[in-house]
Each structure stands twice: as structure tokens, then as C-alpha cells.
Amino acid sequence: MAITAAALFVAALSGWAVFLSGQGLEDADRWVTVVGFFVTTVLAAGSIAAAWWASRPPIPARPAATDRVDGSGAALACDGGRANTGIDGYGDDRTAQVNRSGNATARGPGSVANTGVSRSSRT
């Protein structure tokens, strides 16, 4: 594709040179001035469009996926234990959805039970 574009550019430039060489010095100067004006106008409009596009605020990234828990069972933790029938992970920007979670019961000091989503920090 790039080779084809380069070949077309060289062919157009060569054709332009042949055309101008047959026009005489004054007419060639006029042609170059008129075509130069249009090329400059198109490049200026492209620069304005590129500057506008670059100045727009970035689109916030969407989370890679949604953590889902559907119909989790019951979780029972006793005597400092941990029980999890949902999702246990590190906190981040992912979204979470829980439907029909089971009962979570923690008995005793330090016990943790989870049937939905539990997030902790990485530190």
C-alpha cells in the first residue's frame, strides 16, 4: 500500500513537472502560485483539525470486565477462619455485579465470610 502511494506521488509530481515545463516561465509561475495556495489552505485546515482532535479530553478507559457473582452459596466462617463463595480480590476500577448471593455468617473474632465481592488494597 505504501509503495503504491509513493509510486502515485512520484508519477503525479513528474506529471506536474512536465506540465509546468511546457507552460513557459510566466504561466508556470502563475500555476505554481494558484496550486500552492490551495495546497497551503488544505494543509492549514488539516492542522486545525488535528489540533482540535488533540485538544479534546481523553475518553476514560472502560474496565476490562465486570466481576459477577450469580447465585452464590452460603459462607460460614468460624474461629477466625475465612469463607468465600463470591469473589475475593484486589481493589481496582473493575465494576462488580452481584445477583442472588447466599447467606454469609462469621462466628468468632477475626472470622470473615463473603458471598458477594470482597476487595482489598494491594499494599
Q: Can you give the pLDDT at residue 122?
A: 62
Helix H, strand E, coil C: the string for the chain is CHHHHHHHHHHHHHHHHHHHHCCCHHHHHHHHHHHHHHHHHHHHHHHHHHHHHHHCCCCCCCCCCEEEEECCCCEEEECCCEEECCEEEECCCCEEEEECCCCEEEECCCCEEECCEEEECCC
What does each of the 123 residues of the chain score in pLDDT, given as a tens digit? 889 999 999 999 899 899 989 988 888 899 999 999 999 999 999 999 999 999 888 887 765 677 778 888 888 888 888 888 877 777 666 777 788 888 888 888 988 888 878 777 665
Q: Can you give the pLDDT at residue 47?
A: 96
Q: Can you give the pLDDT at residue 91?
A: 66
> For residues 117 and 96, what is the distance between their CA atoms, to the nearest angstrom?
7
Q: Can you give the pLDDT at residue 69?
A: 81
> For residues 40 and 32, what is the distance between their CA atoms, to the nearest angstrom?
12
Q: Can you give the pLDDT at residue 3?
A: 92
Model-level pTM? 0.43
Q: Can you give the pLDDT at residue 97?
A: 79
The Cα diameter of the chain in Å comes to: 100
Q: Can you give the pLDDT at residue 39?
A: 93
Long-range contacts of 28-36 (CB under 8 A, 24+ apart): none
Q: Can you give the pLDDT at residue 123?
A: 59
The three cell numbers locating residue 2? 505504501
